[in-house]
Structure formats: C-alpha cells, structure tokens
Amino acid sequence: MRVGDPAADTLFVAPWYTDVIYELSKRDLSIVARHPSRAQRYLGYWEPMSVIRDGTYLYLGNDVEQAVVAYNLETGQPDAVLNLYAQGLVQFGGPVWNLVQSSKTRHLYFTSGPGENLYEVAVPSLDILKHRRFRDITGTALTLDEDRGVLY
C-alpha cells in the first residue's frame, strides 16, 4: 500500500499548532505515516477543524484564521491556501467548518464567518466560485443532495 493511496484504509488527523498531519490506520488507529503540513508558513494560526481527502489531496478547513488548505500528499506541500480572513471576506475568529465535496464536480462547499458564510470553491485551485453572506451564522451542519442539486 502506497502512503496517500486513495484506496488505503486510512484516515487523517491534523493536530492544532503542529507541523504534521498523521495518517492513521482505520483498523487500529496506528500511525501509518507522518506528513509535514507546512501550513504554518502560510497561516498565523494553524487550527484545522475539518479534513476531506480527494485522491492525492487533503482539503483542510482552519479555525480562527479562516482558511482552506489544499495539501498535496504526493509532494508533501500545500498547493493552494484560500485565506478568507486575509481577503476580508470574514472577521477573525470563526472556523472554516463542515467541508463537503461533490462527487460529480469535485467542488468543495463549506461554512465560515462571521461575514461571508457559505462557499463553493474549485479544487485543487481553491478559487471561489460562489459565496453568500448570512452575517454571523457559521452553520452547524452542511450536506449536499446531488440527486436534487440542493445544499442543506
């Protein structure tokens, strides 16, 4: 089994304030691999809240300094960082939360805030395709019904 293999029976954990992303066995939670996150080069606060795997990419949603990191498992580097706070789209403090991904378009959807709260982004570039302002509602859940084309 190759580390970062999409067919691998693993999951990923990214502890706050560390420069490592752990790949764990789903069977017994043993450490299969350690990946250097290198995210702290781009963010003042590294507090990952959500992780989604898409092939050789991990998409990590960050707390406090709201950002999404597109981490390439093959190169061990972030390929893109979408920093919502630095772009003035949100106020400091809320998380990028509830990452969900379309199996059809591969686009990511997530909530954040306060400020602009609902996002659709392209991957792996993390270009914002759409966003919507709901003020201070960061959302507690998000799900995508692709058969109906509805985001809840």
Dihedral over alpha carbons 123, 126, 128, 132 (to 10 degrees): 90
Q: What pLDDT band is residue 125 in, cutting at 50, 70 and 90?
A: very high
- Give the span between the Cα atoms of 33 and 20, in whole angstroms: 10
- Decide if 4 contacts 74 (C-beta within 8 A): yes
Q: What pLDDT band is residue 133 in, cutting at 50, 70 and 90?
A: confident
Q: What pLDDT band is residue 3 in, cutting at 50, 70 and 90?
A: very low
In angstroms, the first-to-last Cα distance of the chain is 36
Flag whether pLDDT at 47 surpasses 50.
Answer: yes
Rg (CA), the chain: 15
Which of the residue ranges 46-55, 111-120, 123-132 would you say has the lowest mean pLDDT? 111-120
- Give the span between the Cα atoms of 152 and 144, in whole angstroms: 6
Phi and psi, residue 102, nearest 5°: -75, 130
